[in-house]
Amino acid sequence: MRSIQHTFLAASLVGALALSSLFTWAATVPAGVQLHAEQTLTRNNGAEPETLDPSLIESVGAANLTRDLFEGLTAIDAQGKIVPGVAEKWRQVDPLTWTFQLRPQAKWQNGDPVTAQDFVYAFRRLVEPKTGSKYARTFGDFFLNGKEVSTGQKPPQELGVRAIDKTTLEIKTSHPVKFLPELVSNPNLSPLHAASIEKLGREWTKPGNLMGNGAYALKSWQVNSKIVLEKSAGYWDADQVKITRVTYLPVEDGHVDVKLFESGQNDWVYMLPPGSYDAYLKKYPKDTRNTPLLALRFYSIQTQSPFFKDVRVRQALSMVLDRDILAQKVTADGQLPAYGLIVKGVEGADRVDYEWANWPMAKKVETAKALMAQAGVKPGAKFTFSYNTSEYHKKMAIFAASEWKTKLGLAVELEAMEFKVLIKKRHDGQFEMARDGWNADYNDATTFVALVKCDSDQNHSRHCNKDAEQLIQKGLKESDQTKRKAALNEAIRLIMNDYPIIPLLQYSLPRLVKSYVGGYNTENQMDRFRSQDLYIIKH
């Protein structure tokens, strides 16, 4: 639980970030690159979006779409860097207060100016229970009174956002949030055109109704077939937007996706089918891309279950699992082995591996066996591993079970189930060990710390390290970034030495993108590509 601190430092830190709007930030085409005559892009989005209402979106695919249709205070460019959006500059007034200066030329599609009030309306709508957003807490908790508003204890008017004037927005946070400029780039925090929503109700996201302020407007939407966006002429930076039409496909099956790519109907395969990465790398060396994501694959251990009560058992199981074979042979799609909570590229804490990470396997097994013996677990002992039905997870689970059987003599019962069932079991703690994974909502260590901290709804292990919790709370209140990082590092070290989870791999995103899609790159670890930052090279 995050405590709310109201201590405003007298000598407030003046925000260092004050970016000028003199630069344009959309598609920067390198000198010498010739553009294709037809600037259209078809990108598969992996699934049909659950909604296009920014307050209600949850999935990566819906976020991709709303990033094109709406523009928040800030944005993430193709390189994964924060750039101004509707806000042309911003300033941290004191550790808990920020002001964002909006550009006067930002417009809604109907020509209305985008005002600070539009952000206030949107933020309140996201957080208040009436809306029913599953991301109310995720983002709401960062704002002053956000938690109280999301739980219905305070009215939405008390949320820490306020329009000082038409183009100045003030945000008060519940604790120092150094990465607020990045946080507000999230499409859940896009401005909303209140008049459209109030007038049209549930119908407001339909083609012809949807009022956005982004680089693109919604042209057509056929469920489970495609969503077509067209460049919005009124967008303030329209001159820099190269692609004029974007078609989003909702294809879930990787094989079908690749076939559409091969027959020229798709420029962008969402994700290659499991196990096919090497083959496609050989077949299409220029088009095959792989980005390490800010995401962790892990197994959650129910630390209160009888089998896993003893930390030595949990440690032994983590030690003997050969991540190198898992990455190179089992999943074989360019993922990186993970030996800690924090993956490569995450800000706000260091990536620290277990000290045994580089030991030879024989030594790991020997140590693990000793730990098991000390804990009194005999070979032949049995536990259940739960995963959601999928070839990919099954392959990984069979490998893990065979590691534990051959190296420690344990019998693992594999239990497959639907995803919805697994989610419920994990939340209810009705499992012994379960497949798990997390994709960062924003680039800060806290998004991963939430997986293991006390009283977090994402802490499926139900493990709570009180000392670590104190450090985390201390770190969150800290506005000195070095001290904050040190506190979080130490907290993570303490928690991970209790082995509540078994970190396995850092997710990567193996996919095919036509080499003529300019602006696409593998540096963007959040995989957030606005279509306005891309362009089609002559081919």
Partner 1 sequence: MLAYTFRRLLITIPTLLVVIGIVYILLFSAPGGPFDSERVVPEAIQAQLMSKYHLDLPYWKQYLLYIGQLLQGDLGVSYRYADWSVNELVSGALPVSLAIGGLSIVLSLLIGILMGALAALFRNSLVDYLVMALGSLGSVLPSFVLGPLLVLAFAIGLQWLPSGGWDHFSWPFMVLPVSLLTLINVSTLARIMRASLVEVMNSNYIRTARAKGLPIRLIVFRHALRPSLLPVVTILGPLAVSSITSALVTESIFSIPGLGILVVNGAANRDYTLVLGLVVLITAMVVLVNLCVDLIYAFLDPRSRA
Contact residues toward partner 1 (CB under 8 A) are 48, 50-53, 56, 58, 129-138, 150-152, 202, 205-206, 222-226, 249, 251-253, 255-256, 259-260, 262-265, 418-421, 423-424, 427, 457-458
Considering the complex, what minimum distance in angstroms separates the CB of residue 131 from partner 1? Answer: 8
Please, which residue, 88 or 441, has the CB nearer to partner 1? 441
Considering the complex, what minimum distance in angstroms separates the CB of residue 69 from partner 1? Answer: 13
Considering the complex, what minimum distance in angstroms separates the CB of residue 127 from partner 1? Answer: 10
Please, which residue, 226 or 245, has the CB nearer to partner 1? 226
Give the type of residue at 382.
K
Considering the complex, what minimum distance in angstroms separates the CB of residue 205 from partner 1? Answer: 5
- Whose structure tokens read 């096919």? 276
Bridge partners, residue 97, by sequence: 94, 172
Please, which residue, 264 or 285, has the CB nearer to partner 1? 264
Select from 192, 191, 214, 211 the least CA-distant residue to 203. 211
Please, which residue, 138 or 173, has the CB nearer to partner 1? 138
What is the Cα–Cα distance from 476 to 99, expressed in whole angstroms? 21
What is the Cα–Cα distance from 289 to 535, expressed in whole angstroms? 17
For 538, counting Cβ atoms within 10 Å of its Cβ (0-12 exposed, 13-18 middle, 19+ buried), the class is: exposed
What is the Cα–Cα distance from 497 to 518, expressed in whole angstroms? 44
What is the Cα–Cα distance from 176 to 179, expressed in whole angstroms? 9
Bridge partners, residue 145, by sequence: none
- DSSP letter for 114, please: P
The values of phi and psi at residue 397, to 5°, are -65, -40
Can you give the C-alpha Rg of the chain in angstroms? 24
Please, which residue, 87 or 251, has the CB nearer to partner 1? 251
Would you tell me how many other CB atoms lie within 10 Å of the CB of residue 273?
19
What is the Cα–Cα distance from 518 to 369, expressed in whole angstroms? 52
Please, which residue, 150 or 315, has the CB nearer to partner 1? 150
Considering the complex, what minimum distance in angstroms separates the CB of residue 100 from partner 1? Answer: 27
Would you tell me how many other CB atoms lie within 10 Å of the CB of residue 33?
10
Please, which residue, 115 or 458, has the CB nearer to partner 1? 458
The values of phi and psi at residue 245, to 5°, are -145, 130
Bridge partners, residue 162, by sequence: 170
What is the Cα–Cα distance from 44 to 513, expressed in whole angstroms? 10
Considering the complex, what minimum distance in angstroms separates the CB of residue 411 from partner 1? Answer: 25
What is the Cα–Cα distance from 299 to 503, expressed in whole angstroms? 7
Considering the complex, what minimum distance in angstroms separates the CB of residue 47 from partner 1? Answer: 9
For 3, counting Cβ atoms within 10 Å of its Cβ (0-12 exposed, 13-18 middle, 19+ buried), the class is: exposed
Please, which residue, 438 or 499, has the CB nearer to partner 1? 438
Considering the complex, what minimum distance in angstroms separates the CB of residue 275 from partner 1? Answer: 16
Considering the complex, what minimum distance in angstroms separates the CB of residue 201 from partner 1? Answer: 11
Please, which residue, 141 or 333, has the CB nearer to partner 1? 141
Considering the complex, what minimum distance in angstroms separates the CB of residue 257 from partner 1? Answer: 8
Considering the complex, what minimum distance in angstroms separates the CB of residue 3 from partner 1? Answer: 18
Please, which residue, 382 or 427, has the CB nearer to partner 1? 427
Would you tell me how many other CB atoms lie within 10 Å of the CB of residue 362?
8
Considering the complex, what minimum distance in angstroms separates the CB of residue 67 from partner 1? Answer: 17
The total number of residues written for the chain in this structure: 539
Please, which residue, 76 or 251, has the CB nearer to partner 1? 251
Please, which residue, 311 or 450, has the CB nearer to partner 1? 450
What is the Cα–Cα distance from 255 to 271, expressed in whole angstroms? 9
What is the Cα–Cα distance from 539 to 530, expressed in whole angstroms? 22
Q: Where are the extended beta strands (E) located within 204-270? A: 216-222, 226-231, 245-249
Considering the complex, what minimum distance in angstroms separates the CB of residue 53 from partner 1? Answer: 7
3-state SS assignment for residue 339: coil
Q: Where are the extended beta strands (E) located within 31-118? A: 40-44, 74-76, 82-84, 87-94, 97-102
Please, which residue, 56 or 177, has the CB nearer to partner 1? 56
Bridge partners, residue 41, by sequence: 246
